[in-house]
Amino acid sequence: MFTSGIVAGLLFAGLAQCAIPLCPAPPQNASKPILDSFVSFSIEFSSFPDFAGNSSNPNAFSYTLLKNLGGLQGSNPIIRVGGNTQDYATFDASQTEALIGSFNFNRSKDYPTTISIGPSYFDSYSTWPNMTFLHGFNLAKNGTVGYDTLIGTVPLACKALGNGKLAYWQLGNEPDLYKTSSQGPVRPSWWNETDYVQEWLNKTRIMKQLVQENCPEVVAQGKFKFYAPSFGGAGNSLNLIRTWNAGLDADNDIAFIDSHKQPGVTLQGTLMNHTSTVLSVAKHLNESNLLANTGLPYILGETNSLYNEGAPGLSNSFGATLWGVDFNLYCAATGIGRVHMHQGTNYRYASWQPVQTVNETLGTKAPYYGNIMVAAFLGDLTANNVSISDIELGSTYQNAYAAYVNGRLERVAIIQMRAYNTTTGASGPRPSETFTFQLPPGTNKGASVKSVGVQRLLANGSDAITGITFDGYSYNYELDEGRPVVLNNVTRNEVVQVAQNGMVTVDVPWSSAVILNLHW
């Protein structure tokens, strides 16, 4: 088996590695069938009007990018509208503007920290047909203002999300940070899991009563269900397991156990680094295992590369694209039920910039191509028949995954994360690594793999922020407003023949990824 990225130089010198064996059927470590809409998004509450537009001026670019993904994975992404700013938002029934926000750069340079929304905020939910949503309600705000905001917005949300637009509900964003947030604590130091659960139950019961009064069909159809508790991660002041044991789901209204994740600091050391990905997901897998008796799926309701909305030159680079592929496929292979990649206007790690601003150009960004590759590799998930297996290569800098459809091996993904940087004076031919796979027994005899099609995720290097393609397609705004456009200067329809001994070999350049599609 291929063992370590440090032997790459030896491979170039002509040393052959052992073939990587592929199982014909899902191995013991393969995931359960992947949930539909695995590739989903979380959009910052204050940015949602930018991403969606309104009924007078819908954001067709955003909608096109979302539909591209829906076409690949069989169902559209589920859109969670939330984040830190959902817990800053208060409601003014007389306000004509959808959202009024004020920035305090001592608290955040990326989003407003004083926010008022009016009834027209909910008009943004009308712009994307056949999409489903979660609306994030403010839990952090207490007292009269918090209560008035809750009772004022629940009826508007349930009415706006009628006609099949409602996915689930959410109350509060990362309440495990309420006592310790650097932007200002909103709960006393003694506030604990029991206190949180009591507050959660009180407020969700108010919400249910309001929904029953204004949208009774939601309750009748069993759609009053939550993503919860939406905690921010390890080391914070509330523990997810203790919270659950304190009775968070006493009303049996939680559909998904929701946690959030924002990793690291560097490109090669954190993002283009499979070991870092494994370690960052391990905490969630531990929580998922401890809560397995609930029978509820465990998801990541908000995540992306690097905390604090990402870092320029890192989170918007092709290296972050490769991280996104490895991270999402590792989550899928290890039982994380769904991943919502977080987005926001001007955010460095966003998959696209929805509007033109003084800080960012309207357009498709590098991470979107990672979303596309993940959706293409998973394929149509609506039949509930796709499972993913992690093929650990024993290396920090590359990993592989197998996709099984109806119990049969159909696709293999390889992510090569050795940094190849074009802006630091890279010279000479771009290094590549050769991967050889042993296909299942019976190759070239009867119902066997005849050939293998190759789809490549490519850019000039890990530090590239433009010029990215998947399978020869560009999704850039300037070409056809986000629709896939074939580029004539990128190789497509590559086919690798299967040797008589069942071996198949593919070269993968540093800082790139491929999907091998098995043709039976």
Chain segment 463-503, per-residue pLDDT in tens: 999 999 999 999 999 999 999 999 999 989 999 999 988 89
Does 217 have pLDDT greater than 90? yes
Distance CA 231, CA 239 (A): 9
pLDDT of the residue at 370: 98
Mean pLDDT of 181-195: 90
Confidence class for position 444, pLDDT limits 50, 70, 90: very low
Query: Does residue 283 come out as left (phi exceeding 0), alpha (psi in the -120 to 50 range) or beta?
Result: alpha
Confidence class for position 273, pLDDT limits 50, 70, 90: confident
Distance CA 210, CA 227 (A): 19
pLDDT of the residue at 263: 57
Q: How high is the mean pLDDT of the chain? A: 91
Burial of 96 (0-12, 13-18, 19+ CB in 10 A): exposed
Mean pLDDT of 21-32: 93
Confidence class for position 442, pLDDT limits 50, 70, 90: low
Distance CA 157, CA 149 (A): 12
Distance CA 133, CA 79 (A): 5
Which candidate, 189, 207, 205, places its Cα nearest to that of 149?
207
pLDDT of the residue at 427: 63
Confidence class for position 47, pLDDT limits 50, 70, 90: very high
pLDDT of the residue at 109: 85
Which candidate, 506, 511, 503, places its Cα nearest to that of 494?
506
Confidence class for position 436, pLDDT limits 50, 70, 90: very high
Query: Does residue 41 come out as left (phi exceeding 0), alpha (psi in the -120 to 50 range) or beta?
Result: beta
Helix axes 193-214, 143-160, angle to 10 degrees: 50
pLDDT of the residue at 136: 98
pTM of the entire predicted model: 0.94
Does 296 have pLDDT greater than 80? yes
Distance CA 109, CA 142 (A): 25
- Per DSSP, 510 falls in state S
pLDDT of the residue at 9: 32
Chain segment 119-138, per-residue pLDDT in tens: 999 999 999 999 999 999 99
Distance CA 502, CA 71 (A): 33
**Length of the chain, in residues:** 520
Distance CA 2, CA 390 (A): 14
Q: For residue 492, give Cα distances in angstroms to 456, 468, 513.
A: 8, 14, 14
Mean pLDDT of 343-354: 95
pLDDT of the residue at 450: 87
Domains for the chain: give ranges and CATH numbers: 20-24+391-519 (2.60.40.1180), 39-386 (3.20.20.80)
pLDDT of the residue at 520: 87
pLDDT of the residue at 269: 54
Mean pLDDT of 403-407: 97
Distance CA 399, CA 4 (A): 10
Q: What's the CA dihedral at 364, 365, 369, 372 to 10 degrees?
A: -50
Chain segment 243-266, per-residue pLDDT in tens: 999 999 999 999 999 998 765 555
Does 270 have pLDDT greater than 80? no
- Do residues 25 and 438 touch, judged by C-beta distance below 8 A? no
Chain segment 308-329, per-residue pLDDT in tens: 665 666 788 999 999 999 999 9
Does 1 have pLDDT greater than 70? no
pLDDT of the residue at 345: 97
**Intra-chain end-to-end CA distance of the chain, in Å:** 24
Distance CA 490, CA 187 (A): 55
Chain segment 357-379, per-residue pLDDT in tens: 999 999 999 999 999 999 999 99
pLDDT more than 90, % of the chain: 79
Catalytic sites, residue numbers: 193, 302
Mean pLDDT of 160-188: 93
Say which residue, 261 or 512, is predicted with more confidence. Answer: 512
pLDDT of the residue at 58: 98
pLDDT of the residue at 18: 73
Confidence class for position 425, pLDDT limits 50, 70, 90: low
pLDDT of the residue at 147: 97
Does 423 have pLDDT greater than 90? no
Mean pLDDT of 27-41: 96
pLDDT of the residue at 11: 34
pLDDT of the residue at 441: 75
pLDDT of the residue at 510: 95
Task: Give buried/exposed letters for 372-397 (b at 16+ CB in 10 A, else e).
Answer: bbbbbbbbebeeeebbbbbbebebbb
